[in-house]
Amino acid sequence: MNWNFNVSIISTIVVIFILMLFYRNREEDEGYLGLKLVGYYILGTFNLKIGILIPIGFMIWLLLFHPKTNRTIKRYSAIFGLLMMLIGYWIH
C-alpha cells in the first residue's frame, strides 16, 4: 500500500463520519436529506484551476442555493466540501 492510498481511505472515512454527524444534527425531517448533504458536499468541492484555484462550486452554492429547511447543516456541508477541496489542493 502506498501513502496516497492510505490518505484516500482515511479522508473518505472522515468525510462519511462528518456528513453523518451533520445528518444527526438536522433541525427537521426532510426527504433524501442524506443525499442532499452529499450533493452539497460535492458542490463545495468543485473547482476551476486556471493559474489559480477558483472554488466555482462553492460560488455557485452562494449565489443559487437558498434552502428553506436544514439550512445550517447544508451550509456546513458545502463549507466542509470547500475545506476538503483546499486540503486536497494543498496536499498535492
CA 92 – CA 86 distance, rounded (Å) = 10
pLDDT digits (tens, 9 = 90+) for 75-90: 999 999 999 999 888 8
- For residues 42 and 4, the answer to whether their CB atoms sit within 8 Å is no
The pTM of this model reads 0.89
pLDDT at residue 7 is higher than 90: no
Closest CA to 55 of 76, 86, 90: 86
| Structural domain for 54, as ranges | 3-91
Instruction: Give pLDDT tens digits for 18-75.
Output: 999 999 999 999 999 999 999 999 999 999 999 899 999 999 999 999 999 999 999 9
Q: Would you say 23 and 42 are in contact if contact means Cβ atoms under 8 Å apart?
A: no
Angle between helices 33-45 and 56-64 (to 10 degrees): 130
pLDDT exceeds cutoff 70 at 1: no
Structural domain tally of the chain? 1
Assigned C-alpha cell, 66? 437558498
The helix/strand/coil state of 48 is strand
pLDDT for residue 9 is more than 80: yes
Strands (DSSP E) contained in 6-84 are 48-50, 52-54
